[in-house]
Chain A
């Protein structure tokens, strides 16, 4: 699986994502935001960080980078695109996903481990997760408060395109356990075609026991399986 990891000035989780893809047997390569072509890749990933210092709005300037035209085209043709944290922000700014990420309601940076539900395990990113599985992985963000207007939110829920929700200690979403105030406790969403997913938590930081959790592994493995399968066809 050849994966393009797009780096913008200020991306700082690119290396973690690279190592993670290597770990599951994928073939990652860094693409600089000024490149205009992706080359032949099987998947595109947008890593976390502070692209352009989060200036103007998180992800806003990065979304205008030359490489994003190629990413959009790739996505339009059904290519898998994963945006993590700042990557999610870029995808929303680039209109590859609906809605926007606002500042956390606490107005503080939130860095901690969260528990997530897998709301939809029939996608190329999540079908290795059992539906009742809850995932533990870190978040680290100041603007993770997912917002979309009522109509969009309704549509997302109806279509089952909410991918992950923040859970409380009893296994249900609660206001206290929602680390950023996001609407409907949403931690990640997917597009209508099911090939572009964005999430605020960091699955690439949950792939080794020594780091505390391996719950992120199956996400990347799901994707790898799908790509391998589609190649055999």
Chain B
């Protein structure tokens, strides 16, 4: 068992209206960042867990996302190893 840190990125599904993203884009434009095409707002969850292997940790996280962390109707998720995770195996 090793301590693994995962970074889970939860983002709105493409095509979904993102009013928060639009409001932020508008705010940036008023600061003269006029070349912005799109802004979408999501969240990052940093999960530290003990698992037999990196793959095992990722499998667990996938299941977590499917069951609770992401709403499949409106969100997609992406799991990766966090940079300061101990490397196992």
Interface residues of A (CB under 8 A from B): 56-57, 60-61, 64, 92-93, 98-100, 102-107, 147-149, 181
Which residues in A have their C-beta under 8 angstroms from that of B19? 103-107, 181
Which residues in B have their C-beta under 8 angstroms from that of A92? 73
Which residues in B have their C-beta under 8 angstroms from that of A102? 16-17, 74
Assess whether B71 is interfacial by the CB under 8 Å rule: yes
CB atoms of B73 and A57 under 8 A apart: no
Interface residues of chain A: helix, strand, loop or mixed (majority) = loop
Q: Which 6 residue pairs are nearest across A and B when measured between Cβ atoms?
A: A100-B73, A105-B19, A100-B74, A100-B71, A107-B19, A57-B71
Assess whether B44 is interfacial by the CB under 8 Å rule: no
How many B residues have CB within 8 A of the partner chain? 11
Q: B24 CB to closest chain A CB, in angstroms? A: 10
Cβ contact of B69, chosen from A56, A98, A104, A148, cutoff 8 A = A56
Interface string of B64-87 (1 = CB under 8 A from A): 000111010110000000000000
Assess whether B56 is interfacial by the CB under 8 Å rule: no
Give Cα A149–Cα B13 distance, bound, in whole angstroms: 11
Interface residues of B (CB under 8 A from A): 16-17, 19-20, 23, 67-69, 71, 73-74
Query: For A100, A102, A103, which residue has the most chain B Cβ atoms within 10 angstroms?
Result: A102
Report the nearest A residue to B41, measured CB to CB. A103
CB atoms of A147 and B16 under 8 A apart: yes
Give Cα A138–Cα B73 distance, bound, in whole angstroms: 27
Give Cα A106–Cα B73 distance, bound, in whole angstroms: 21
Which residues in B have their C-beta under 8 angstroms from that of A100? 71, 73-74
Give Cα A148–Cα B73 distance, bound, in whole angstroms: 7
Q: What are 17 A-B residue pairs whose CB atoms fall within 8 Å in the complex?
A: A56-B68, A57-B71, A61-B68, A64-B67, A99-B73, A100-B73, A100-B74, A102-B17, A103-B19, A105-B19, A106-B19, A107-B20, A107-B23, A147-B16, A148-B73, A149-B73, A181-B17
Which residues in B have their C-beta under 8 angstroms from that of A64? 67-68
Report the nearest A residue to B43, measured CB to CB. A56
Give Cα A187–Cα B71 distance, bound, in whole angstroms: 20
CB atoms of B68 and A60 under 8 A apart: yes
Give Cα A149–Cα B68 distance, bound, in whole angstroms: 20
Which residues in A have their C-beta under 8 angstroms from that of B73? 92, 98-100, 147-149
